Chains A and B, each alone.
Chain A
Amino acid sequence: MLVAVTFMVLLERKVIAWVQVRLGPMRVGPYGVLQPIADVVKLMTKEDITPVRADKIVFTAAPMIALIPALIVFAVIPFGPVVSIFGREVALYITDINVGLLYIVSVASIGVYGIILAGWASNSKYPLLASLRASAQLISYEVAVTMTLVSMIVSAGTMSMIGIVNAQYQQGVWYLFAQPVAFFIYFVGGLAETNRAPFDLPEAEQELTGGFHTEYSGMRFALFFLAEYANMIVVSSVATTLFLGGWLRPFPNIEALSFLGIIPGWIWFLLKTFIWLYIFLWVRATLPRYRYDQLMRLGWKVLIPLAIANVIITATVKVLV
């Protein structure tokens, strides 16, 4: 998992470099593929600076609080169904609890603490301003995202992640097509919740010189970095599960395409997740940044009403059909 995150960083640097007609990292290994290892070594051996006036305990704890929720969310994400490998039944997920979606929402929301505490503990103005921005942003967009998840729950009739994929199989349609509005809101909300461009205000380098982790260095900074990318992967894999049919092959009910079934489910899953991540990077390379008030306006005046309307319509359709 953490290895995936570090290579995600390389992927980002490469993709954005290509978009910007650059080469990106080239020095470490062929085409820079070993760059993540160099990065990790560098970050681990760097001096860990704690500002004198900082609150030591909270300052140390904040990066961990940011990273841990991002990692434990993976417990409920299904990479594939139960498959048999050499005659043994292996489930490609850690656990399947019947409140899976709510679990993801609630655990992910703990991550806000990491950000706000980092800003507070640094005892510095820019980080504080950034962390207040970040937590307000995360809380606002969480509402919209949770509302879309409600409409997904209504469509699928279950909160279990496995159940949602199976529901998509039975209804014969990826929810991307059945719930385009929810998809859109989730995508925008996901960008905002992971603090990615164009909603990367909390770390807006040009305004706040780096945001809530301005005062961090070395491994503690690396933990924040890992948390951000881990969150991206979480958002992408949840989106894959909810909207792109998880491990299902494209058009799972059309017999003519059954030859696609020879590719195992987990490869489909990873492929779809990768497409999501790629879109994240693409958006980052293309769009300017929103301003704080515009961000809030978009969240509260556009996305949340839209999400609520979507829930109502979904429920009505569900009852009528």
Chain B
Amino acid sequence: MATIDNQFDTNELVINMGPQHPSTHGVLRVVLRLDGERVIGCDVVIGYLHRGIEKLCESRDWTQIVLLTDRMDYVAAATNNVGYCQTVEKLMSIEVPRRARYLRTVMCELQRIASHCLWLGTHAMDIGAMTVFLYAFRERELILDLFEEYCGARLTYNSMRIGGLPLDIPPGWDKKVLAFCDIMQTKLTEYEELLTHNRIWLERTKGIGVIPAEEAIAIGLSGPALRGSGVKRDIRKDEPYAAYDEVEFDVPTGKACDTYDRYLVRIEEFRQSLRIIRQAIEGLPEGPIVGKVPRLIKPPAGETYHAIESPKGEIGYFIVADGKSTSPYRFRVRPPSFCNLQALPRLIKGHLVADVVALIGSIDIVLGEVDRGSTRSSFPS
């Protein structure tokens, strides 16, 4: 990098954003190369939250792993639990009772709303609208209360078991969920009043970080970030799990492939989630909550990959069982945050410093998931 030394000629300035920075959502580090205010290149450095979860999982037995999956995407722990449990169920061909499947759907969607609330709050905060942040957290709090009532924890729920649920819902919980849905519905319009037609918001998000559909697929985007580019891919629809084949919902997609469309897609997902929750709660069947699970969980030798739609995208588990031990032979996660983060250098290039934070917010990453056990520690631009 000879050009960095004689600065004035090229006007290149290297700035280290993070790992301690208010808007890198944790400990992400982005090394920006600036020409004035314009970003001409960046390196994303990860690994500051590395805890080796994948490796840890290979020395825990199958039930203990549920608790480790909480710690990956710690703002959407329930979804991670569901993904893992379903993978093992697939490996062992366990039938999950219908009630458990319905409740899993409810949990996943509540979790989606909670995660999107966090995303909306921080995304708006990054762009400078700090009131939305507190409004969104107020509603997230309600969801956390619901989860606390169900499983006692507010963040790392450990709320699923292989073959079903650890416990049935407390009495009256379903009513509270429905009441929450009504509250959320009105609060959504409140958020939208503050942002969707706000001129400054439009100027800050429209045309920022455009990534066309083909490129999005090539990079491996998933979830709202992919749907924002107009690709109608949602595992809930395409490969239904839990009770998603029994409820009705739409998959919103964007057209302009920019930050604003990704925002719109997520806002619409709030509504679809509410719709799913209402249907699932109203159609909640009676019955057992755990299927026929052997006392000692020991899947037969084999390998499987199973993915579900987490709030951030496709979270997939690849598990190899050797059929002998009580822990997986190989445990590997395909985290949506990690794969979506790959798009960041591509998105940032050519935008201004202020857009960097908007784009980090727009792809919605959680560093716990990014650093769940990777060996590569940086993406070159």
Contact = CB atoms under 8 A, between A and B. Distances in A.
Are any A and B Cβ atoms less than 8 Å apart in their complex?
Answer: yes
B21 A291 contact: no
B357 A125 contact: no
B127 A205 contact: no
Contacts of A200: 128
A198 B128 contact: yes
Nearest to B129: A288
A140 to B, nearest CB: 15
A133 B37 CA distance: 9
Given A20-B130, A292-B352, A207 B203 contact: no
Nearest to A128: B13
Nearest to A289: B128
B75 interface: no
B15 A287 contact: no
B354 A201 contact: yes
B138 A287 contact: no
B89 to A, nearest CB: 42
Contacts of A206: 22-23, 125-128, 357
A286 B131 CA distance: 6
Contacts of B138: 21
B200 A290 contact: yes
Given A125-B13, A209-B22, A197 B128 contact: yes
B201 interface: yes
A312 to B, nearest CB: 27
B13 A288 contact: no
A291 B135 contact: no
Interface in B1-55: 13, 15, 21-23, 37
A32 B127 CA distance: 30
A287 B354 contact: no
Given A201-B354, A288-B128, A209 B135 contact: no
Contact of B22 (A20, A133, A205): A205
B198 A287 contact: yes
Nearest to B208: A291
A293 interface: yes
Contact of B204 (A21, A133, A288): A288
Nearest to A198: B200
Interface in A264-309: 285-294
A215 to B, nearest CB: 15
B134 A289 contact: no
A125 B352 contact: no
B13 to A, nearest CB: 7
A22 interface: yes
B355 interface: yes
Contacts of A97: none
A292 B13 contact: no
9 contacts: A198-B200, A204-B128, A206-B22, A206-B128, A286-B194, A287-B198, A288-B124, A289-B200, A292-B37
Given A288-B201, A292-B354, A293-B37, 15 more contacts: A16-B130, A16-B131, A125-B13, A125-B15, A129-B37, A133-B37, A198-B128, A206-B127, A207-B23, A288-B204, A289-B129, A289-B200, A290-B204, A291-B204, A294-B204
